[in-house]
Amino acid sequence: MGDHQGFHQIELKLYMPEKIPEDCIGKIKDLFASESPAQIPQKITNLLQLYDRFNIDIAVTGESGSGKSSLINVFLGLSPDDVGAAQAGVVETTMKATMYQHPNFPQVRLWDLPGMGTPSFNSKSYVKAMNLESYDMFIVVISERVRENNMLLVDTISQQKKPFYVIRTKIDNDMRSQRRKRNFSEANALNKMKEDCEKYLKEKNLDNPVFLVSAHEPLNYEMPRLMDTFKNEVPQIRAELFVSFLDKIFHRWFTAGYATQHAQKTGKIQAEDVANLHSMYKETGFGAVKVKAVLDSLNHFQLDVAVLGETGSGTSTLVNALTRMEKDMYGAASAFIGNPAVSSEYQGVRFWDMSGIEAFMTSMYEMKQNLRDHDFFILIVSDWQEARHVKLAKAVMELRRHFLLVQTKIDCHLRAQGDLCCAETEMLDGLRAQYTRKLQRAKLLEPQIFLINSLDRDGQDFMVLESALAIELDAIRTIAFAHYIEKILRNSTETCPSSMAW
Ligand SMILES: Nc1nc2c(ncn2[C@@H]2O[C@H](COP(=O)(O)OP(=O)(O)O)[C@@H](O)[C@H]2O)c(=O)[nH]1
Ligand SMILES: [Mg+2]
């Protein structure tokens, strides 16, 4: 076995898996081999800025009263009475589609189409009048049972070879009425309904996904699965659309004019951005194939968040609370340092429990070596220990990353100070001011400070922490990705270490 001599000189390097899959790495290395790595971040951020303004149009269609508007509100995360919500339960009077922008994905435009089967439209004229060819994807809403109109829509859409979901809604109603039957079993009833919908698709050799949902009970039936599928697939569909658009305008002169016109007419992209795309191609040579490799990698890219703090400060509890993992659940954060927590709450993010590393990593150099692949930091303090916490914060700052300061177990602190009988908000403000002074004294950049109890997500700053974290992670994703690609290219072309700073 190993020679343990000189153990103290061996630098401890924790294992961190790649942030994108091996095949993406291979493609990037092949396609960008001749690029100068130093220029890659700028080129990629320019490309992604343009991509950020490219819209995808999703039509929500079906019969009048089938529940389209109610479903859109679930997608938007709004109640029917909220500002900006689609009006549900109203008799359709307009012939025009209404657009709703997804709050988390502003480039995803949901179109509430007038219902089929109103006096203004019979089925054939509907298909024509709705300009179905201007949409990129469809959601066909069905309630009660599959009707001829629904199949006509499915036929038309499938001929266009565009992605679509079939959504059977108002399942709560179905279940309520069927419950009266003898031998009722919810599972059997749902299976039967699913088979009914799928039967029609199979007859047409289609295997599009079918979801059984209720807009009135968004946590039940297949609404959660629908939301997850949507969140996962739509960014990919949008990326494919963009690449196919670039292919048409860069590489196929005979389709370029039409594609440009169509995209501008439907508002998928602005005229000046089409011009920007052309100059990007001229200057960087990023054509459709290279852009596809970049977007594929970006869709898989994992941001790494390290949670630092003294052992026992509540790191695992916080990670579990953020990722919605219950204690002892499979996948819940354990003391095992090499096992990141992931969750659909933060897609493309890995949370690393790194509590206590400052205790066994003796030098600043060693600590930085082990933190340099992390993109963002949460510094947990349960009891402030000047030397320890300042050392951690310095390491993060020297890596030129950002961190949030989180005081955990705030309930215990409040209880301990309870004798002073001042209001909770005063105590919290006092604590925040104390931390600010401490950090200023140590000449550290002032991070945002959150005072939380990880076991009470509704209390104190927990929700503010969640939204601040989401905003921070969103803000660094592109730049972290661009530098990661640079690093991959550097590693394959040079032997010298990549630049750590971004
Ligand atoms: N029970 C139940 N009612 C629903 C559901 N979705 C919509 N509705 C009701 O069905 C009616 C028509 O819904 P709406 O969304 O306006 O349909 P649209 O005409 O297709 O936009 C309204 O009264 C809604 O409250 C559902 O999932 N369950
Ligand atoms: Mg409606």
Residue closest via CA to ligand 1's atom 9 equals 67
Cβ neighbours for 348, distance < 8 A, ≥ 6 positions apart: 300, 301, 302, 303, 477
Across 117-121, average pLDDT? 57
Residue closest via CA to ligand 1's atom 2 equals 170
Evaluate whether 11-19+301-493 and 56-232 have a shared fold.
yes
Kindly state if the Cβ of 66 falls inside 6 Å of ligand 1.
yes
Cβ neighbours for 375, distance < 8 A, ≥ 6 positions apart: 303, 304, 305, 401, 476, 480
Residue type, 141: V
Atom of ligand 1 nearest to the CA of 65: 19
Closest CA to 115 of 61, 53, 195: 61
Ligand showing the shortest atom-to-Cα distance for residue 70: 1
Q: Could you give the CA distance from residue 62 to residue 123 in angstroms, rounded to a whole number?
A: 11
Kindly state if the Cβ of 69 falls inside 6 Å of ligand 1.
yes
- Statement: residue 8 has pLDDT above 80: no
Determine how many CB atoms are found less than 10 A away from the CB of residue 461. Answer: 19
DSSP state of 11: P
Strand, coil or helix: 406: strand
Ligand showing the shortest atom-to-Cα distance for residue 97: 2
Strand, coil or helix: 346: strand
| CATH class of this structure's domain 11-19+301-493 | alpha beta
- Statement: residue 119 has pLDDT above 60: no
Task: Tell me which residue has tokens 């949670």.
Answer: 307
Residue type, 490: R
The whole-number pLDDT of residue 102 equals 84
Residue closest via CA to ligand 1's atom 23 equals 89
Domain boundaries, given as residue ranges, for the chain: 11-19+301-493, 56-232
Q: Could you give the CA distance from residue 168 to residue 337 in angstroms, rounded to a whole number?
A: 44
Q: Could you give the CA distance from residue 56 to residue 77 in angstroms, rounded to a whole number?
A: 19
Among 60, 70, 71, which residue has the most ligand 1 atoms within 8 Å of its CB, making it the best to mutate? Answer: 70
pLDDT digits (tens, 9 = 90+) for 467-496: 999 999 999 999 999 999 999 999 876 544
Q: Tell how far the Cα of 71 is from the centroid of ligand 2, in angstroms.
A: 9
Kindly state if the Cβ of 151 falls inside 6 Å of ligand 1.
no
Kindly state if the Cβ of 64 falls inside 6 Å of ligand 1.
yes
Cβ neighbours for 7, distance < 8 A, ≥ 6 positions apart: none
Cβ neighbours for 297, distance < 8 A, ≥ 6 positions apart: 20, 24, 25, 27, 28, 481, 485
Output the pTM of the full model.
0.85
Across 209-220, average pLDDT? 95
Q: Tell how far the Cα of 60 is from the centroid of ligand 2, in angstroms.
A: 10
DSSP per residue, 75-95 = HHT--TTSTTPPPPSPPP---
DSSP state of 175: H
Kindly state if the Cβ of 447 falls inside 6 Å of ligand 1.
no
Report residue 346 as tokens. Answer: 């933060």
Task: Tell me which residue has tokens 């130093």.
Answer: 38
Q: Tell how far the Cα of 365 is from the centroid of ligand 1, in angstroms.
A: 61
Kindly state if the Cβ of 216 falls inside 6 Å of ligand 1.
yes
Q: Tell how far the Cα of 63 is from the centroid of ligand 1, in angstroms.
A: 11
Confidence of residue 3 (pLDDT cuts 50, 70, 90): very low
- Statement: residue 144 has pLDDT above 80: yes
Fold category of 56-232 in CATH: Rossmann fold (3.40.50)
Residue closest via CA to ligand 1's atom 11 equals 89
Tell me the average pLDDT of the chain.
87
Do the bridges between strand 403-407 and strand 108-112 make them parallel or antiparallel, or are there none, so unpaired? unpaired
Q: How far is CA 11 from the centre of its chain?
A: 36
Kindly state if the Cβ of 453 falls inside 6 Å of ligand 1.
no
pLDDT digits (tens, 9 = 90+) for 305-345: 999 998 889 998 999 999 887 655 555 545 455 678 998 88
Kindly state if the Cβ of 117 falls inside 6 Å of ligand 1.
no
What does the buried/exposed string (b/e) look like for 57-72 if buried means 16 or more CB atoms within 10 Å of the residue's CB?
A: bbbbbbbebbbbbbbb
Across 398-425, average pLDDT? 86
Contacts 24+ apart (CB under 8 A), 216-223: 216/70, 216/170, 216/172, 217/171, 217/172, 218/74, 220/171, 220/172, 221/171, 221/172, 221/190, 223/74
Query: CB–CB of 319/351 below 8 Å?
Result: yes
Q: Tell how far the Cα of 69 is from the centroid of ligand 2, in angstroms.
A: 4
The whole-number pLDDT of residue 336 equals 52
Q: In what order do the strands lie in the sheet with 164-169?
A: 98-101, 108-112, 56-62, 137-143, 164-169, 210-212
Residue closest via CA to ligand 1's atom 17 equals 67
Please write down the HEC assignment for all residues of 250-317. Answer: HHCHHHHHHHHHHHHHCCCCCHHHHHHHHHHHHHHCCCHHHHHHHHHHHHHCCEEEEEEECCCCCHHH
Kindly state if the Cβ of 170 falls inside 6 Å of ligand 1.
yes
